[in-house]
C-alpha cells in the first residue's frame, strides 16, 4: 500500500518539519517588527490540496491581499474582500517550491506574514523524465525514471487528481509498471471521468533518506495520441475516386472541425524517389476527398492519419486500401474505355475479377505477344453479381501492362 499522501491531505502549518515522509514544509518569515508586539501572528496556513491560503482575521481589517511567488508563473496577487480571510489560487505545480504572503491593513497598520513552501527531501531523489500519453481514447500510460541519487530501495507512487474541482478527488495508480521491483510506470483505463486538466503527483519512500516528490498538470487533450481513422473506403466513377473515412474516437469530445488529416496516395510499384506528396485535408471536408483519376486507372493505394488541428500530433497511419486496376487498355495511341483487374496471358473464359467499385463492365483480354505488345481479341462482358456473361466479340486492342 502506498504511503500517506501528505502533499494532498494535511493542511500544513507554520514551522512544520517532517520527520518521516517527504512532505513539503513551511517556514514563517515575520512581518514588521514594530507591530509584532501589538498584534499576534496571523497564523497563516496553506492547504496544498485545495491551494487555499487562510489566516486569522484581525479586528477592524480594512484591506487584505495574498501573494504567491512561483518559479514558473511568477508573482500572483489576489485582493481579498473586507470580510474574507482566505484566498484560493489556481492549481499549479509545487515541486520547485513557492513563497506565499499575506498582507493585511488593520487599525491603519500594515501586517505581513510570509510562508516558504519547500519540497523536503534529498535533491536528486525525485522521479525524473515523467511523461504520459492517452491512446484508444480510454487508456493512459505514464512513465518516469528513478532519481539519479535515489537509493536502490526507493519506491515511487503515482496519484491523479482533478486539478479544477473543489473536492479534489484523488486516485492512486491501479496498475504499476515495474522494473526490477520499482514502480516506474502506470497503466490506467476508464478515463471518461477525468477532466481536461489533471494533476499528477509522484512521491516516493526509502528507508535510507527522504525522497522528494514530483508533480505536473497535464492537459488530456495535449497528451492524447489519436488512433488511425477507421473504415477507409474508396468509390470510383469515370473521373474521380471518392475517398472516405471515419474520425477517430477521442477522450475529449471534438467536432469534425477540430481534426486535420493527411492522405498518402501512391501508385503501386512506384520507383524510389518518385512518391507523391502527402495530401492535407481539413476536418471541414467532412472526412472525404475526391481524387481525380480518369479511366482507365492504374492500381493505387491510400492510407490516412489524423491529428488535432491545434496540436498536430499525428496518429499512426491506417491500413492501406487498394483501388484501381492492374492494366490499361489502349486503342492505338489513345486510351480506350474500360480496364481489367488482373493480368491474363492465356485465353480463357470471361473472369469474375472486376473491381466491386466498378461493376458495370470490364474487359477480358487474351492473345499472344507480338513485338513487345499484346495483339488481343477483346470481349465485352457484363457483370451480374458474381456471374460473368459473354455478350459479343468486340475489336482489337493493344494492351500495355503497368
Measure the N-to-C terminal CA separation of the chain; round to a whole number of Å: 66
Residue 70's pLDDT is: 87
211 and 163, same domain (yes or no): yes
Report which secondary-structure segment, H or E, holds 25.
Answer: strand 25-29
> Within this chain, do residues 198 and 154 fall inside the same structural domain, yes or no?
yes
**Residue 78: which CATH number?**
2.60.40
In this structure, are 288 and 250 located in the same domain? Answer: yes
Domain that holds residue 193: 128-224
Mark whether 256 and 232 lie in a shared domain. yes
145, with CB counted inside 10 A (0-12, 13-18, 19+), is: middle
pLDDT for 38: 53
Cell of 243: 475517398
Query: Could you give the CA distance from residue 326 to residue 342 in angstroms, rounded to a whole number?
Result: 6
- Residue 387 has a pLDDT of 35
| Domain stop point among 100, 118, 136 | 118
Any domain includes 340: yes
| Predicted model pTM | 0.64
My answer on whether 19 and 114 are in the same domain is yes
Residue recorded with cell 453479381: 385
Computed on alpha carbons and rounded to an integer, the radius of gyration of the chain in Å comes to 35
- Distance of alpha carbon 396 from alpha carbon 398, whole angstroms: 7
Whether the CB-CB separation of 159 and 173 falls below 8 Å is answered with yes
Are 300 and 333 part of one and the same domain? no
* Separation CA 390–CA 284 (nearest Å): 46
Q: Assign residue 181 a region (left: φ > 0; alpha: ψ between -120 and 50; beta: otherwise).
A: left
Give the per-residue pLDDT at 71.
79
Tell me what pLDDT residue 295 has: 61
Q: Which residues 6+ apart lie within 8 Å of 289 measured at CB? A: 242, 243, 263, 279, 281
Rounded CA gap, 214 and 158, in Å?
A: 10
The C-alpha atoms of residue 219 and residue 313 are separated, in whole angstroms, by 14
pLDDT averaged per 10 residues in sequence order, the chain, 402 residues: 45 30 45 51 86 86 88 83 81 90 86 90 95 91 96 95 67 94 93 80 95 93 91 90 92 88 91 88 93 77 93 91 61 33 33 37 33 34 34 35 34
In a domain, 158, yes or no: yes
Residue 152 sits in a domain whose CATH number is: 2.60.40.10
The whole-number pLDDT of residue 146 equals 96
Model pLDDT, residue 367: 33
Count the helix, strand and coil residues of the chain and give each as a percent rounded to the nearest 5: 5, 50, 45
The answer on 72 and 155 residing in a single domain is no
Same-domain check for residues 285 and 356: no
Of 83, 161, 151, nearest to 121 (Cα)? 151
Cell of 177: 509498471
319 and 285 together in one domain: yes
**Number of Cβ atoms within 10 Å of the Cβ of 269:** 9
My answer on whether 316 and 344 are in the same domain is: no
How many domains does the structure of the chain reveal? Answer: 4
Of the residues 202, 224, 246, which one is the last residue of a structural domain? 224
Look at residue 356 and tell me if it is in a domain: yes
Backbone angles phi, psi at 284, to 5 degrees: -65, -15
Q: Exposed, middle or buried, 72 (CB in 10 Å: 0-12/13-18/19+)?
A: exposed
The answer to whether 73 touches 91, Cβ cutoff 8 Å, is: no
Amino acid at each position: 500500500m502506498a504511503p500517506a499522501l501528505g502533499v494532498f491531505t494535511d493542511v500544513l502549518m507554520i514551522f512544520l518539519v517532517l520527520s518521516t515522509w517527504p512532505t513539503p514544509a513551511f517556514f514563517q518569515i515575520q512581518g514588521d517588527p514594530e507591530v509584532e508586539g501589538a498584534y499576534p501572528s496571523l497564523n497563516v496556513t496553506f492547504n496544498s490540496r485545495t491551494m487555499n491560503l487562510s489566516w486569522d482575521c484581525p479586528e477592524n481589517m480594512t484591506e487584505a491581499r495574498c501573494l504567491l511567488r512561483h518559479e514558473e508563473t511568477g508573482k500572483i496577487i489576489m485582493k481579498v474582500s473586507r470580510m474574507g480571510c482566505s484566498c484560493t489560487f489556481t492549481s499549479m505545480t509545487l515541486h520547485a517550491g513557492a513563497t506565499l504572503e499575506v498582507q493585511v491593513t488593520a487599525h491603519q497598520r500594515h501586517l505581513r506574514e510570509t510562508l516558504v513552501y519547500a519540497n523536503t527531501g534529498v535533491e536528486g531523489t525525485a522521479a525524473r523524465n515523467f511523461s504520459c500519453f492517452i491512446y484508444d481514447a480510454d487508456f493512459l500510460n505514464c512513465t518516469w525514471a528513478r532519481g539519479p541519487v535515489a537509493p536502490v530501495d526507493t519506491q515511487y507512487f503515482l496519484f491523479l487528481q482533478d486539478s479544477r474541482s473543489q473536492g479534489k478527488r484523488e486516485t492512486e495508480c491501479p496498475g504499476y509498471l515495474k522494473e526490477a521491483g520499482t514502480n516506474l510506470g502506470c497503466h490506467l483505463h476508464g478515463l471518461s471521468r477525468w477532466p481536461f486538466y489533471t494533476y499528477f503527483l509522484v512521491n516516493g519512500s526509502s528507508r535510507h533518506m527522504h525522497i522528494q516528490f514530483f508533480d505536473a498538470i497535464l492537459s488530456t487533450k495535449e497528451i492524447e495520441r489519436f488512433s488511425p481513422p477507421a473504415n477507409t473506403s474508396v468509390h470510383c466513377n469515370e473521373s474521380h475516386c471518392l475517398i472516405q473515412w471515419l474520425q477517430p474516437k477521442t477522450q475529449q469530445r471534438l467536432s469534425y472541425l477540430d481534426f486535420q488529416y493527411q492522405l498518402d496516395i501512391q501508385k503501386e510499384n512506384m520507383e524510389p524517389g518518385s512518391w507523391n506528396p502527402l495530401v492535407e485535408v481539413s476536418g471541414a471536408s467532412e472526412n472525404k476527398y475526391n481524387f481525380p483519376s480518369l479511366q482507365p486507372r492504374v492500381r493505387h493505394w491510400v492510407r490516412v492519419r489524423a491529428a488535432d488541428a491545434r496540436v498536430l500530433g499525428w496518429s499512426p497511419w491506417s491500413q492501406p486500401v487498394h483501388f484501381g486496376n492492374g492494366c490499361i487498355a489502349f486503342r492505338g495511341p489513345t486510351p480506350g474505355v474500360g480496364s481489367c483487374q488482373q493480368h491474363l496471358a492465356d485465353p480463357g473464359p470471361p473472369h469474375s475479377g472486376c473491381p466491386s467499385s466498378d461493376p458495370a463492365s470490364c474487359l477480358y483480354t487474351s492473345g499472344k505477344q507480338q513485338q513487345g505488345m499484346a495483339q488481343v481479341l477483346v470481349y465485352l462482358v457484363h457483370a451480374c453479381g458474381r456471374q460473368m456473361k459473354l455478350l459479343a466479340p468486340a475489336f482489337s486492342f493493344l494492351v500495355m501492362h503497368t
